């Protein structure tokens, strides 16, 4: 499932991402924008997390890191915000 040069997801990381596993190698800020989120949502991410890959954050969230979990939630909600508010 994982590419050799990509982020290696733990089992918990795979569960955190769910159907967004295909975004595991994307930078979180880019992935939020790609899913329709705006700069406001990107700014909600912790500044040192904005340049991490989605898979790295998913693995951190699986280890119990609450801020990484929040970043994954922001990613998942990006599409809902776009549908609600348009863009």
Query: Concatenated DSSP letters for 10-64?
Result: -HHHHHHHGGGGGGTTSBHHHHHHHTT--HHHHHHS-GGGTTSBHHHHHHHHHTT
57 in a structural domain: yes
4 in a structural domain: no
30 in a structural domain: yes
pLDDT digits (tens, 9 = 90+) for 35-59: 999 899 999 999 999 999 999 999 9
- 1 pLDDT above the threshold of 60: no
Q: The domain containing residue 19 runs over which residues?
A: 11-85
Does the reported pTM lie above 0.75? yes
- Mean pLDDT, rounded, for 19-37: 95
1 in a structural domain: no
- 2 pLDDT above the threshold of 70: no
Number of domains in the chain: 1
């Amino acid at each position: 499932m994982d590419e050799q040069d990509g982020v290696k997801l733990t089992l918990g990381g795979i569960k955190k991402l769910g159907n967004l596993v295909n975004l595991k190698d994307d930078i979180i800020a880019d992935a939020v924008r790609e899913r329709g989120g705006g700069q406001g949502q990107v700014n909600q991410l912790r500044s040192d997390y904005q340049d991490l890959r989605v898979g790295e954050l998913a693995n951190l969230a699986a280890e119990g890191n609450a801020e990484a979990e929040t970043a994954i939630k922001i990613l998942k909600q990006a599409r809902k915000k776009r549908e609600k508010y348009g863009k």
